[in-house]
């Protein structure tokens, strides 16, 4: 079972990918998280990646393609640790990346099963992103109103410091949203033509959204957990 979670920045992809991964035994691969790790390394690739992320634009395909190929590794990864497939958060984000992904999966005799589109209005997105805080240490996400940490600015899980992502600042949010709108239609059409598109209402609490997705996916799952 190989699933893609797609949606605007702030649509809740990361949160849902984690919940679905745990529920359906899928290995979560978040390209945004992987790229942030590259940036932390402060090497040649990391410095190039940082430049694009700070502007809110996509990192060029040449840079991300080999990163995703290294991380997917379909054959070896999915059986140990009991995983039954992968759930991709933040990849593909455009048509050429969708084709790269097909190539990688096909090599392992696999394919994308479902492309989930989290559909959500602009106002909710801006509210979510501007009030999002992330743990500097473990990457856990919070929302100042709906999912606040127990102590202000401190992660509940690891006591790390909570910060605002640089690309969650208003001017960068606007750019990321524009990039998303430009690329999304082509990608949605691509998966709709293959009859793999599953559009989900992304409004409401994370549990409500999770239940909507779970109810749609459950009948397609053929393996025992």
Q: Which residues contribute to the site for ligand AMP (CB under 6 A)?
A: 9, 31-32, 35, 52-53, 56, 58-59, 64, 90-91, 93, 97, 167, 176
Structure tokens at 86: 């992968």
User: Could you tell me the smallest distance in angstroms from the CB atom of residue 118 to ligand AMP?
Assistant: 12
150 is catalytic: no
36 is catalytic: no
User: Could you tell me the smallest distance in angstroms from the CB atom of residue 82 to ligand AMP?
Assistant: 26
Task: Give the residue with the Cβ less far from ligand AMP, 176 or 212.
Answer: 176
203 is catalytic: no
Task: Give the residue with the Cβ less far from ligand AMP, 1 or 98.
Answer: 98
177 is catalytic: no
75 is catalytic: no
Task: Give the residue with the Cβ less far from ligand AMP, 104 or 221.
Answer: 104
CA–CA dist 213, 75 (Å, integer): 26
User: Could you tell me the smallest distance in angstroms from the CB atom of residue 93 to ligand AMP?
Assistant: 4
Q: Which residues sit opposite 147 in a β-bridge? A: 143
Task: Give the residue with the Cβ less far from ligand AMP, 93 or 212.
Answer: 93
Place of tokens 């779970």: 214
Using a 10 angstrom Cβ sphere, with 0-12 exposed, 13-18 middle and 19 or more buried, the burial of residue 219 is: exposed
Closest CA to 137 of 128, 149, 125, 146: 149
Largest CA distance in the chain: 48
User: Could you tell me the smallest distance in angstroms from the CB atom of residue 79 to ligand AMP?
Assistant: 26
**Which of the following is catalytic: 50, 93, 128, 212?**
93
**Cβ-Cβ contacts under 8 Å for 161 (sequence gap 6 or more):** 135, 136, 137, 153, 154, 155
- Count of C-beta atoms within a 10 Å radius of residue 132: 19
Task: Give the residue with the Cβ less far from ligand AMP, 68 or 198.
Answer: 68
User: Could you tell me the smallest distance in angstroms from the CB atom of residue 224 to ligand AMP?
Assistant: 32
Closest CA to 1 of 26, 18, 22, 28: 26
**Which of the following is catalytic: 165, 175, 203, 206?**
165
Catalytically active residues, by annotation: 13, 93, 132, 165, 176
């Amino acid at each position: 079972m190989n699933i893609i979670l797609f949606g605007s920045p702030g649509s809740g992809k990361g949160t849902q990918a984690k919940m679905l991964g745990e529920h359906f035994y899928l290995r979560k691969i978040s390209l945004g998280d992987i790229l942030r790790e590259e940036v932390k390394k402060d090497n040649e690739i990391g410095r190039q990646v940082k430049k694009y992320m700070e502007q809110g634009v996509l990192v060029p395909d040449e840079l991300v393609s080999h990163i995703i190929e290294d991380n997917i590794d379909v054959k070896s990864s999915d059986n140990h640790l009991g995983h039954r497939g992968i759930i991709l958060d933040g990849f593909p984000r455009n048509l050429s990346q969708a084709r790269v992904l097909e190539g990688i999966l096909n090599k392992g005799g696999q394919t994308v099963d479902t492309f989930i589109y989290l559909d959500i209005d602009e106002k909710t997105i801006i509210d979510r992103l501007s009030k999002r805080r992330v743990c500097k240490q473990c990457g856990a996400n919070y929302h100042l109103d709906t999912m606040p940490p127990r102590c202000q600015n401190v992660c509940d899980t690891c006591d790390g410091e909570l910060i605002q992502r640089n690309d969650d600042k208003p001017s960068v949010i606007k750019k990321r949203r524009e990039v998303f709108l430009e690329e999304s239609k082509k990608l949605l059409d691509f998966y709709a033509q293959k009859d793999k598109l599953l559009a989900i209402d992304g409004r409401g609490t994370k549990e409500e959204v999770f239940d909507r997705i779970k109810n749609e996916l459950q009948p397609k799952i053929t393996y025992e957990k």
